[in-house]
Amino acid sequence: MSRIRHVRGSRLAMAGTAATTATLLVAALAPGATAADRPTRAAALDHAAAALLEHADALGLTDAQDTEVRDVVVDEDGTQHVRYDRTYRGLPVLGGDFVVHLAPDGAFRDADRATGTLITLPGVTPELPAPEAADLAASALRAANPGELLKRLTTEPELVVDALHGAPKLAWRTDAAALDSLGNPVARTVLTDAGTGARIDAWDTVESASGDGASLYGGTVPLETTRSGSSYRLEDATRGGTYTGDAANKTDLCILTVCLVRAPATLYTDADNHWGTGAPDDRASAAVDAQYGTDATWDYYRDVHGRDGIAGDGKGSYNRVHYGTRYNNAFWDDTCFCMTYGDGDGTTMGPLVSLDVAGHEMSHGVTSKTAALTYSGESGGLNEATSDIFGTLVEWHADNSADPGDYLIGEKVVRDGFGREALRYMDRPSRDGSSADCWDTSLGDLDVHYSSGVANHFAYLLAEGSGARTVGGVAYSSPTCDGSTVAGIGRDKLGAIWYRALTVHMTSSTDYAGARTATLEAAGDLYGTDSAEYAAVGAAWSAVDVG
C-alpha cells in the first residue's frame, strides 16, 4: 500500500456556481430526455477543452503548462467530469491534477484541484545529478528492507515538479525496484529535492490491488494482484507473494529429484486488472483458475486452521499453467515449492486447474511441511488421501456457486471421453474402477492414488455417515465394509481432526493402523476421549476395516 500523503483538494467555484461537496449526486434525466441524449466521451472532451481556455487563470494554467486527459466520466443525466494531469515546461507536476465538471449541455460548473498553488519556477535544471538521486533511492529501498540481500536492484530517476509538499519545487522522483531473497518484488519511490538533495517523501510502489478474473470453472472470481507501474501482475502480496506464470507448454528436464532445466513460469501481467475471458483458448483464463485456487486454499488453511501459508511461515508458492502438450496431470513439487498444471488432452480431460485440484496439490505442500508422509505404500495412500480430503474441504469452504462443494474429485476437469463424471469418489471410492473401499493386507501394493480410497471412504463416513443421502444437490451412497451404520459428525469436525492428526500425531511412516491411532488421539485432544466425536472416529475406521 502506498504511504504517500493525501493532500486535501481545493474546490474552485466558478461563474457564480456555489461550492459543493466533493461527492456529486447524479440527477434524474430531464423530462423527455433519454440515455441516447447523453453526451459522448468525445463531446465531453470538446466541452472540457473549451472550459480550459475560458477558465485558464482560475485553473492556474499558464503558457508554461500543458494538460493531458486521464479519465472521462459521463453521468446518467449527462453531467460530465474530465480529469487532467498537468505538466510544467514538459515535466510532470505532482499535485497538478484536476477535474473539470460540466453541465449536461457542456457549460462549465466548477473544478476540483489537487492543490491550488500557483506553479512557477525560476528554471528546470537540477543541481543534484540524476545518479546521486538514484543512489539515494537505492539506499532508501535497502533501508526499507533491513536484513534482505536485494537482487537485480534498478533505479529510474525522473525529473518532476513537486506541488504536493508546500511551495512547488524541482524534484527527482526515483523508482527503485529489486527482488528479495524469496524472489518477490520490492519497490519504493523516493522523492528528492533536486536542489538540496533532501528527501521530500517516500512510499512503497508495489501495491496490492483488487481485480477479478473470468475463470474456466469458477465463473468470475476476485483476485488480489500487484500493481507495477501502469500494469498489474498476477501476484498476491496479501498471500505471501503467491503468483501464477505461463510454462509456455514446456516441460522440466529432471534426473531423479534433480531438475537440470525447469519449464518457465513467466508471470502473467494485465493492463486493466480484469483477467481472462473464461474461454479455453485464452491462456490467461487457466491462470485465473490456478491463482484463485491458490487464494481459496490459502484462505481455507488460514480461516479454519490458523495456518499462515502452506509452510506455515507466511511465504507463498507459485503456479505454472500450460505445462507440456496435452498433459493430463497436475502435480506439486517440493523442490520448487510450486504447483504445475497441464492442459489435458481435450478428449478425456481439460485443463486441470479446478478448485479441488488446486486444493489437492497445495495440500501436498502442507503434508510435506508437517507429517511428510512417505509417498509409497500405505503412507503414500494416506498422503494422497490427505490432499483429496483437504481439496474437498477447500471447495466447500470457497462457497462458489459456479463450483459448489461436493465429494467428487476433479469433476470439473473430466470430459466425455473419460467415461465417468469425476476422477475419484469419496463416498464409494471403488466407483472409479480401481480404488479400494476397504482395507486389506494387500492395500500397500496398490498405486497411492488407489490405496487412498480407504482413507477417503473413512473421511466421507466421518463427515456425512453411511447409506444413501443427497448433499448439496448431489446423490451419494456409502456402504460400510462391516455392515455397520455410521453417523456423521460434519465436515468441520472431519477437517479439524484430520489436520490435528497430520500436524501433531502422524509421522512419515504412518500406515492405516497408525492413522486410526493418530486421528483418535486428535479427536481426544479436541473433544475428549469420552466424546461422541472420538467414538465416531473409531466407528468410521472400523467401517472401512481398519480396526
- Catalogue the active-site residues: 361, 449
CB 161, CB 88: distance < 8 Å:
yes
- In our burial notation (b when 16+ CB lie closer than 10 A, e otherwise), range 272-291 reads ebebbbbeeeebbbbbbbbb
In this structure, the dihedral spanned by the alpha carbons of residues 216, 344, 292 and 206, taken in order and rounded to 10 degrees, is: -110
- In our burial notation (b when 16+ CB lie closer than 10 A, e otherwise), range 428-447 reads bbebbeebbbbbeeebbebe
Cα separations in angstroms, 469 against 260, 275, 392, 472: 50, 39, 18, 10
For cell 459428525, name the residue: 489
Distance CA 517, CA 477 (A): 27
Give the DSSP H or E segment for 366.
helix 355-369
Give the HSE-up count for residue 411: Cα atoms under 13 Å, Cβ half-sphere. 16
Distance CA 539, CA 546 (A): 10
CB 406, CB 474: distance < 8 Å:
yes
Distance CA 538, CA 547 (A): 8
Q: Which set of grid coordinates corresponds to residue 202? A: 517516500
Distance CA 455, CA 429 (A): 10
- Give the burial class of 456: count Cβ atoms within 10 A of its Cβ; 0-12 exposed, 13-18 middle, 19 or more buried: buried
Distance CA 301, CA 312 (A): 9
Cα separations in angstroms, 31 against 24, 34, 74, 220: 20, 9, 18, 38
Distance CA 374, CA 367 (A): 10
The beta strand positions in 362-500, using DSSP E, are 408-409, 424-425, 467-471, 474-478
Find, among 86, 89, 81, 84, the residue nearest to 38 by Cα. 81
In sequence order, the 6+-apart residues with CB closer than 8 A to the CB of 517 are 505
CB 269, CB 275: distance < 8 Å:
no
Distance CA 109, CA 380 (A): 72
Q: Which set of grid coordinates corresponds to residue 293? A: 485456487
CB 385, CB 455: distance < 8 Å:
yes
